Structure 1
Amino acid sequence: MKTLLPTSTAGSLPKPSWLAQPEVLWSPWKLEGQQLIDGKHDALRVSLQEQYQTGLDIVSDGEQTRQHFVTTFIEHLDGVDFENRRTVKIRDRYDASVPTVYGPVSRQKPVFVEDAKFLRAQTNKPIKWALPGPMTMVDTLFDDHYKSREKLAWEFAVILNQEAKELKAVGVDIIQFDEPAFNVFFEEVNEWGIKCLERAIEGLNCETAVHICYGYGIKANTDWKKTLGSEWRQYEEVFPKLQQSNIDIISLECHNSRVPIELLSLIRGKKVMVGAIDVATNTIETPEEVANTLREALRYVDADKLYPSTNCGLAPLAREVARGKLTALAKGAEIVRKELEA
């Protein structure tokens, strides 16, 4: 029987301190060679165990085998130079030193497929795997070859489609594309961003999701949120076209955000991964707070289409904080599940 209100994380979970420096994004590995490979697999097992113990229904790798949700994928592609770096403004928000696209981009071999196969062998639960979306990949690079964000995004869409099909073939149940850029570049999203995403999922016979959030709980993002006023209506710009797209699930930020919950009516009919956990605070939500967010969402989303989740990844948080938040998510979903089944 299919679980009602299946819970999951939006993506990353904290890494153990023996693998990488905790509570830091882009944290360098502390191991190398075969030790690093083994260490990543051990971290994946630990991450999976925490998801089991906290009661999540749909599990993931917690992004234990990658340094960063975008660049780790790009590192494995041809046409990108990581030595020749340039400073660009990411998502119109903060400066970062990024690799340069110097020639045609291509993928010579699978990037995450072996890791996904390893995860699949550890669990019988449904698994979700996150990939960076085409627009967010473009926004994390300096393009010295195509000189067109759209052209580069289409190339990435083809590469992502190859990877996604191979992930599906090793048993991934949900493939999620992370597109925080969809909350910033509205004209581009509506002109070509969603079309590129549809190219990335072409021919996939598993569930697909797009994750659109206001970002990790890092200072650059929390400072930006303070400038957004009392209502965050960014989703309003892209929801109408997403509602008409072939994407199955839309993942968004709801808890402690100023997103008017009624915007969910714009994607009625889609499955919705409702962010009911704030990733920008160390305060652990109560199960009742989670339940309240889900009850609000249920005014606009059918119960069989609601997937409780976190607002974004939990990588920058302490492990005990992340564990507490996941427990609250599972318990809050259980409260509402019982109410619906009563």
Structure 2
Amino acid sequence: MQIHNLGFPRIGAKRELKFSLEKYWRGELTQTEFLTECKERRQQNWKIQFDAGIECLPVGDFAHYDHVLNTTLLLGLAPTRFINTHDDSVEQNNAVDLEFRIGRGQAPTGCQCAASDMTKWFNTNYHYIVPELSADLLASNSVTNSDNLLNQLNEAQAITDNRKVVLLGPITYLHLSVTGDERKLALLPALLTRYQALLTQLSDAGVNWLQLDEPVLGLELDSAWQQAFTQAYQQLEKGNLKVLLTSYFASIDHHIELIKDLAFDGLHIDTVAEHTDVQSIIATLPDHWIISLGVINGRNIWKTDLVSVYHKVQPLYRQLGERLWLAPSCSLLHSPVDLAQESKLDEEFTSWLAFAKQKCQELSLLKAALVDEKTEQIILYSSPALARCVSTRIHNDKVKQRVSRLTLSDFTRKESFDARKVAQQKSLKLPLLPTTTIGSFPQTGDIRQVRAKWRRHEMTDQEYTRLIQAEIRQTIKRQEAIGLDVLVHGEAERNDMVEYFGELLDGVAFTQFAWVQSYGSRCVKPPIIFGDISRKKPMTIEWANFAQSLTDKPVKGMLTGPVTILCWSFVRDDLSREQVANQIALAISDEVVDLIDNGIAIIQIDEPAIREGMPVKQSQWQSYLDWATAAFCLSAAKAPAATQIHSHMCYSEFNDILPAIISLDADVLTIETSRSNMSLLDAFDSQAYPNDLGPGVYDIHSPNVPEVAWMVGLIEKAQKHIPLEHLWVNPDCGLKTRAWTETKLALENMVIAAKTLRNRIR
């Protein structure tokens, strides 16, 4: 038996990679210094895993920005707009800066260039850079180059000789790509040529094991994609490589017949995400294959009940012996690094948790119990996990009773959208193409320092309030000077759109260092939902009232929706997600009522995570969407007709969920569309969106300042899909990560673009 890992968090226990990236982007590190720090991060990651008992280390899971983007560069498939074909200088075309140009948006000469699209990695909150493929690109002279991957393999040899290369498989890579007007599967033969070159390079270099990730197998693939899978793996020659086919996030029982006759050497099965019939799978597969079982949850932070896992795995170990490998369910990319850093959690609560390092240790404990047939250690280890379920800390009878009393009327607004729009226009008197932002404004170092000092009790509550109010006052003045129609208070008091609310809810806990990567250098620290949820006190009233007192223009009340709080948290596993979502929705509903009672006329309830919360299998979507949209409706249902409810979504494939989006019945929905050049709005051609829509007209994830003409063009494209009287003008997302200088210029151009179109209509 061998224990191995599919991947480890890249960012470091205290976000070291984030800070290295941002220093490099600011010019505070040379490229050599940056790459040295990345090498040190990899070495540290491998050492943590090895010391925790992982025997076979993953190599190739580390990325400066994103592992899918790594694959694009590995295959020599960078979009041509990011490459200067007239200048072969190192400064213009080096691989590191090319990587960041693709992810962040910049042409090699330094001018503006749209970044590659970014969307969610299956049903996680991790964002990947979408590959852009075409026949011309695949036929170009650019070649695969495994040198960097092999260099990392050599680096890992300083820790152990037992290593495996991790590579995203061709079918998943193609499935996740965009191809314009070209059929994806028509590009497969050319893509396989590049994969073959890469496999040959790895084989020739003496690589032993290759972990080939194909999480697309969790989907319910149609016959064309199934045939493509068979074609790919019948055609690819692995040479001397041993290939571990790896899938996760869902069961793959439905595709075993597709897999069993292909030339793999092993299969990794996620046994956590869904029920899977492991015994049936083993009986179907060739008897020389390695069977890797993902038995530790790679996406949550709860300590594993190793005794329960032991009893499930023990008969399989007796049957398979050395053919059995044990691993986490998926890459630990989605877990924080090390629980040992958490000094502020109490002893009982800490005893319930396990982060990435501890998950590796869990595997080591499990192996020891199986091999030595001694269970004392895992019984002792697992006892807190069992105690958690009956702890009085997690139960609140009042919350349970409130959820049980809900009726259908609690989930529906009383008036139709048409009636609401009349009432809202009479009250708000907004112009055609109203302009607004999504909510947050730049979080400067000064703001973060104020919050940090207040949390450390280095300033009084009165001093903190005065400083935050000063920031809000300045934010309102800036928006008025820019000419925005609907303002926001800027969220200076908020560390994160989910963490902020979680801190004000009972049943939710917080950590100091449980950071996980969202995209690039962006990291989040998810709350831990451990018990029944209720609102401790009003959460936003003080800041909303103050902001509205400074201006005659409407200021939006800003809330995070129940599904997003659910999806962007580590969630208790002893209650259904639907029940947890309804508990959160009731707490948000209480806040909506308080905002209305305090005269706030526009309330935004953000739900960027609706799409990512969907199960991997399409057959399970509707059940999820039914309760997810109901939770949002529950949070907003008490708003009267004259109160305008907004929501926001980002990086979602709306074609998949358009009926559900419509059923949210938000008065105004703002969405990310600029990276896709408004192509996401094609979904609304088949089913008209009945309410108001704000398609983002510029990408806030790029430092580029968009030109007026560019935004005018995007609004005109949007007008082809959405009636003008239903269109809003806004950025793609919140402006928290941007600097004020670029934000001011971008928003000024956005307002000019809206006014340009208003004038044309007159």
* Partner-residue secondary structure (3-state), 1:120: helix
Matched residue type, 1:70: V
Do 1:269 and 1:301's aligned partners in 2 also have CA atoms closer than 8 Å? no
Do 2:451 and 2:493's aligned partners in 1 also have CA atoms closer than 8 Å? no
Matched residue type, 1:195: A
RMSD over aligned CA atoms reads: 2.4
Do 1:88 and 1:142's aligned partners in 2 also have CA atoms closer than 8 Å? no
| Distance of 2:515 and 2:475 partners within structure 1 | 33
| Distance of 1:334 and 1:149 partners within structure 2 | 44
Of 425, 428, 431, 1:3 maps to 431
Aligned runs of 1:145-160 on 2, under 5 Å?
146-160=574-588
* Displacement after TM superposition at 1:60 (Å): 0.6
Matched residue type, 1:61: H
**Are positions 1:200 and 2:629 aligned together?**
no
- C-alpha distance after superposition, 1:95-121 (max 9, x if no partner): 854332232211131000111111111
Q: Identity of counterpart residues, as a percentage?
A: 25
| Distance of 1:245 and 1:318 partners within structure 2 | 33
**Are positions 1:234 and 2:653 aligned together?**
yes
Do 2:678 and 2:695's aligned partners in 1 also have CA atoms closer than 8 Å? no
Of 94, 99, 104, 2:527 maps to 99
**Are positions 1:338 and 2:762 aligned together?**
no
Where structure 1 has 5 or more consecutive residues not aligned to the other structure, the ranges are 22-26, 215-232
| Distance of 2:682 and 2:479 partners within structure 1 | 30
Q: Which residue of 1 aligns with 2:486?
A: 58
Seen in structure 2, the aligned counterparts of structure 1 residues 300 and 323 have a Cα distance that, compared at 3 Å, is: same
Do 2:698 and 2:731's aligned partners in 1 also have CA atoms closer than 8 Å? yes
Aligned runs of 1:79-94 on 2, under 5 Å?
79-83=507-511
* Partner-residue secondary structure (3-state), 1:156: helix
Matched residue type, 1:241: A
Report the count of equivalent residues: 316
Mean alpha-carbon deviation: is it higher for 180-189 or for 291-300? 180-189
Q: Which residue of 2 aligns with 1:225?
A: none
Seen in structure 2, the aligned counterparts of structure 1 residues 30 and 49 have a Cα distance that, compared at 3 Å, is: farther
**Are positions 1:279 and 2:700 aligned together?**
yes
Do 1:84 and 1:100's aligned partners in 2 also have CA atoms closer than 8 Å? no
Do 1:183 and 1:213's aligned partners in 2 also have CA atoms closer than 8 Å? no
The structure whose Rg is larger is 2
Of 575, 596, 605, 1:177 maps to 605
Do 2:508 and 2:529's aligned partners in 1 also have CA atoms closer than 8 Å? yes
| Distance of 2:576 and 2:523 partners within structure 1 | 20
| Distance of 1:114 and 1:126 partners within structure 2 | 16
Do 1:98 and 1:141's aligned partners in 2 also have CA atoms closer than 8 Å? yes
**Structure with more relative contact order (C-alpha pairs < 8 Å, separation 6 or more):** 1
| Distance of 2:451 and 2:568 partners within structure 1 | 18
| Distance of 2:469 and 2:512 partners within structure 1 | 31
**Are positions 1:115 and 2:549 aligned together?**
no
Q: Which residue of 2 aligns with 1:209?
A: 646
* Displacement after TM superposition at 1:131 (Å): 0.9
* Displacement after TM superposition at 1:267 (Å): 4.3
| Distance of 2:544 and 2:513 partners within structure 1 | 30
Seen in structure 2, the aligned counterparts of structure 1 residues 141 and 185 have a Cα distance that, compared at 3 Å, is: closer
Q: Which residue of 2 aligns with 1:29?
A: 452
Q: Normalized per residue, which structure has more helix?
A: 2
* Partner-residue secondary structure (3-state), 2:609: helix
* Partner-residue secondary structure (3-state), 1:180: coil
Seen in structure 2, the aligned counterparts of structure 1 residues 247 and 197 have a Cα distance that, compared at 3 Å, is: same
- C-alpha distance after superposition, 1:123-169 (max 9, x if no partner): 11012122111111012222236532211111001110110111122
| Distance of 2:445 and 2:525 partners within structure 1 | 25
Q: Which residue of 1 aligns with 2:739?
A: 318
| Distance of 1:111 and 1:288 partners within structure 2 | 40
| Distance of 1:314 and 1:87 partners within structure 2 | 21
Seen in structure 2, the aligned counterparts of structure 1 residues 12 and 289 have a Cα distance that, compared at 3 Å, is: same
Seen in structure 2, the aligned counterparts of structure 1 residues 146 and 57 have a Cα distance that, compared at 3 Å, is: farther
Do 2:677 and 2:714's aligned partners in 1 also have CA atoms closer than 8 Å? no
Q: Which residue of 2 aligns with 1:299?
A: 720
Seen in structure 2, the aligned counterparts of structure 1 residues 295 and 189 have a Cα distance that, compared at 3 Å, is: farther
Of 114, 118, 131, 2:559 maps to 131
Q: Which residue of 2 aligns with 1:46?
A: 474
* Displacement after TM superposition at 1:65 (Å): 2.0
Do 2:567 and 2:613's aligned partners in 1 also have CA atoms closer than 8 Å? no
| Distance of 2:725 and 2:713 partners within structure 1 | 17
Matched residue type, 2:736: A
Where structure 2 has 5 or more consecutive residues not aligned to the other structure, the ranges are 1-428, 615-620
